[in-house]
Structure 1
Amino acid sequence: MKKNRILSLFLSMVLGASLLSVPALAAANPSTAAEGEVIQEVEDHQTASADQSQIIADMHVDAGSAILVDADTGEILYEQDAHTKRYPASITKVMTCLLTLEAVDRGELSLEDVVTASGSLHAGIGENASTADIKEGEQLRVIDLLYAALIPSANEACNVLAETVSGSVDAFVDLMNQRAAELGMTGTHFANTHGYHDDDHYTTAYDIYLMSAEAMKYETFRTIVSSKNYTMPATNMHEERIVRSTNGLISTFNVTGYWYEYAIGVKTGYTPEAGYCLSAAAEKNGKMLISVVMDCTRVEGTTGSEGFTYFSETVRLLNWGFSNFSQQVILDDSAMDFPEIAVTLSKEADYVTVHPSGALTITLPDDVDITSFERVVDCPETVEAPVEAGQVLGKVTMTYNGQEYGSLDLVANSAVERSELLYRLDQIQKFFSQLWVRVVLIVLAVVIVILILRALIFGKRRSSARSRYSGRRRR
């Protein structure tokens, strides 16, 4: 019996010690206490100036809305009411031709397919609309219809393309709105295929940039919108005809004084309600820019080729972009001054250093000092060994004036091996840290204590009983 008591006391002491050791182990090994915690640290090498670039501050475009974008990177260089909803007029035709080229790309039709203009070719088109004189029953190739829509801005060509792609104009307009949503054109709603005025037909300068950039990915589209003129072959109802570009940056046939040597597109637009609009693309020294101006007015009292501000302001905006912006590296893998990250479960090292993976190159105004960018570092306070060289341990984001300009992964500079002893001890500590294990241990401890107390109580009773029994026998 004494042996059983001693064994019970020993077990209770071990279990009690194990319960008390759990918080002690947790305190001694920070890998569990800090695991999952994330710190966000801002390193101010030189705090970014609160003042905006003077180059940008001094710029203003004589237009209701304007935007200038680096087409290669998608970076917005300048914007002015770029998300205000306005009427796009014939710039709408960019979406119509984009959808047609996408259908060709899917193999649903070809550029050489011959289609017949139906009685719906003038749907939604009022008087004085631009036209290529396409007639009902006329048979034309898809490629000729694309040129007619984009070069002389023929409204009826858009309706013929719509029926060719979707079977009906209405179904095609639904497709236009669906594609606009897919492209992120959140300020856009199309009511027709060509842009003839409708109060429910609107978009924004930013949205026009989105669809123009998408359309410019197609070589056929780029070839068409950069063409000064195009000869449409004879059809069953028409002799050979030459159509000429309405874009004064491309062609001097309609207006002179705006030709721009770097221009490669895109599309003009005008209605009394929309004003003068232009989506333009230009390439210079390997850089491509896309600009959009909307709701421009003609200089009052001008005649002939004078006063078309949507051309002159576009040229000024593009020249400004080419002259005042350049690509600069704001962070690369040579940067090493980042916080050390503590490493647990290793005997060979208690920290690891990190560096950025790759480089961040962005287009910036030439008067912006790249050392004024801030680094926002996001990484764990500690990591567990093993750590591999090149392992992603965090992220660094570059900001300027509160705007993010990109992020890079932070990777380990060296490897750190794990100590198997420390790892096993950590596994034991984690096991005993689990709530269900603690509950089981507490229940066992209580049971053992009860058993010990019961044994002690019953032991005393048996001892007393034996004493009394012995006394009676002696008498």
Structure 2
Amino acid sequence: MIKILICFSVIFSSGIGLNLYATHHQPVNESNALDLAANSKSAILIERDTGEVLFNKNAQEVLPPASMTKIMTLLLVMEELENGKLQLSEKVRISEKAASMGGSQIFLEPGEEMTVNDLLKGVAVASGNDASVALAERIAGSEEAFVEMMNQRAKQLHLKNTLFQNPTGLPAENHYSTAEDMALLAKELLKYDEITKYTSIYEDYLRKGQENEFWLVNTNKLVKFYEGVDGLKTGFTNEAKYCLTATAEKDGMRVIAVVMGADSTKNRNSDVSAMLDYAYSKYTTKSLFDKNQQVTSFNWLKADQQKVNVITNDSISILHKKAEDLTGIETDVKIDQDISLPIKKGTAIGKLEVKKDGKVISETDLVIEEDMDKAGTFQLMGRILRSFLNK
């Protein structure tokens, strides 16, 4: 067991005002007074880096999420790609079950083979239920096993009011979520920058040049008609009505807007557009650290590679109103006291806390930059000897 404790502070010459509640994801005081999302049963607006809630309307009301369910499906696909268990170029054989899915689809045929890359397009752009099940079966072996993965991941992300019964969002008993949980899920998915390369596509083709060529048109029209929108996922069933989890980025600030239970496509898009307008007219962000930026490093006597770099797990920003003067901000790096070797690249070993007037307003995981194993006996002896001789 290695005993480590590192804690240091950095004082920034400029900071923010008083409206930061990222740690607890609480809404700003004026949130409930805003006349937004009038056409939707529930809604939420958050800034992605800090997680601060800018607007909240019944955001914890349990409702059917329809095809916004596919945000979790996409997250699990991206995680499999990241850990090397799935490749974009891999061809997936389509089962009878996947091909038989109703609702929105890309009209896969039983026995057809399609690359993971094209199936991802089918999910992200056309909301294909058949493509979602095909990817689920490839990753977990069956749709049922994949649903277990979805619910386990939901627990890990502390989505307290979410339960999935399928990877598509097709109507099912006890299949539910909330606007708040959808925003947190989208926040996690957006750690993968490349996902917006798919969700921002407005139109494309599958099987281009073949007899069964299929034209993909994005179900999220805002990617074409609202500047900065590059995702994320629409939803509709008779029970859920019109839903949308949208994300946009302007001037370095990314926000997530979720509406559920809107009464029409037009009103759904109008509600989201108004929420985005509000965010970009009132707020801006100041970047502190980029994703994967080195924050510190230290020496581990008992590790095979003695010098270890510690990096951010996500981008870190502070959010403030455009009219506010910036004041001092403090950051603390805290590394866990007990770390056991070996540990894998990407394992969280501490936190970077952003503080305002001594109060923690946000915290982000710090991770190890590369795999670390135990040093061999001769390595340890050599280091101890060199340390002794250098005294």
TM category, shorter: 0.5 to 0.7
Q: Give TM-score scaled by structure 2 length.
A: 0.66
What's the offset of the Cα at 1:244?
1.0
Residues 176 and 328 of structure 1, relative CA distance in 2, 3 Å threshold:
closer
**Equivalent position to 1:239, from 207, 212, 225:** 212
5+ unaligned residues in a row in structure 1: which ranges?
1-46, 252-258, 299-306, 330-359, 372-394, 409-475
Q: 1:316 and 2:274 equivalent?
A: yes
Distance 2:150 2:218 in 1: 24
Higher relative contact order (CA 8 A, sep 6+): 2
5+ unaligned residues in a row in structure 2: which ranges?
1-17, 20-27, 288-315, 328-353, 364-391
Question: Are the counterparts in 2 of residues 265 and 282 from structure 1 also a CA contact under 8 Å?
Answer: yes
Aligned letter for 1:247?
N
Distance 1:160 1:53 in 2: 45
The residue aligned with 2:34 is: 58
- CA offset digits 1:224-276 (Å, max 9, x no partner): 001111221359x963322110111014xxxxxxx101211111100110010
Question: Are the counterparts in 2 of residues 95 and 176 from structure 1 also a CA contact under 8 Å?
Answer: yes
Q: 1:161 and 2:135 equivalent?
A: yes
The residue aligned with 1:211 is: 185
The residue aligned with 1:144 is: 118
Greater per-residue helix proportion? 1
Residues 363 and 150 of structure 1, relative CA distance in 2, 3 Å threshold:
same
The residue aligned with 1:93 is: 70
- CA offset digits 1:205-228 (Å, max 9, x no partner): 111111212212223311000111
Question: Are the counterparts in 1 of residues 36 and 271 from structure 2 also a CA contact under 8 Å?
Answer: no
Residues 240 and 60 of structure 1, relative CA distance in 2, 3 Å threshold:
closer
Distance 2:59 2:186 in 1: 15
Distance 1:309 1:100 in 2: 31
Which of the two has higher C-alpha Rg?
1
Q: Give TM-score scaled by structure 1 length.
A: 0.55
Aligned letter for 1:90?
S
The residue aligned with 2:156 is: 182
- CA offset digits 1:156-191 (Å, max 9, x no partner): 111100010000000000000011111111110000
Aligned letter for 1:315?
S
SS in 1 for 2:257: strand
Question: Are the counterparts in 2 of residues 65 and 205 from structure 1 also a CA contact under 8 Å?
Answer: yes
- CA offset digits 1:135-167 (Å, max 9, x no partner): 111110011111001111111111100010000
Aligned letter for 1:318?
L
Question: Are the counterparts in 2 of residues 89 and 277 from structure 1 also a CA contact under 8 Å?
Answer: yes
Residues 210 and 361 of structure 1, relative CA distance in 2, 3 Å threshold:
closer
Residues 219 and 406 of structure 1, relative CA distance in 2, 3 Å threshold:
closer
- CA offset digits 1:312-333 (Å, max 9, x no partner): 110110010110124589xxxx
Distance 1:53 1:67 in 2: 14
What's the offset of the Cα at 1:58?
3.2
Residues 120 and 317 of structure 1, relative CA distance in 2, 3 Å threshold:
same
Residues 229 and 140 of structure 1, relative CA distance in 2, 3 Å threshold:
same
* 1:221-260 aligned within 5 A: 221-233=195-207, 239-251=212-224, 259-260=225-226
* 1:117-136 aligned within 5 A: 117-121=94-98, 125-126=101-102, 129-136=103-110
SS in 2 for 1:269: strand
What's the offset of the Cα at 1:56?
5.8
The residue aligned with 1:268 is: 234
SS in 1 for 2:123: helix
What's the offset of the Cα at 1:369?
8.9
Greater per-residue strand proportion? 2
Aligned letter for 2:91?
V
RMSD: 3.1
Aligned letter for 1:267?
K
Aligned letter for 2:134?
V
Aligned letter for 1:71?
R
The residue aligned with 1:449 is: none
Distance 1:406 1:95 in 2: 27
The residue aligned with 1:406 is: 361
The residue aligned with 2:261 is: 295
* 1:424-439 aligned within 5 A: none
Fraction of identical pairs, as percent = 34
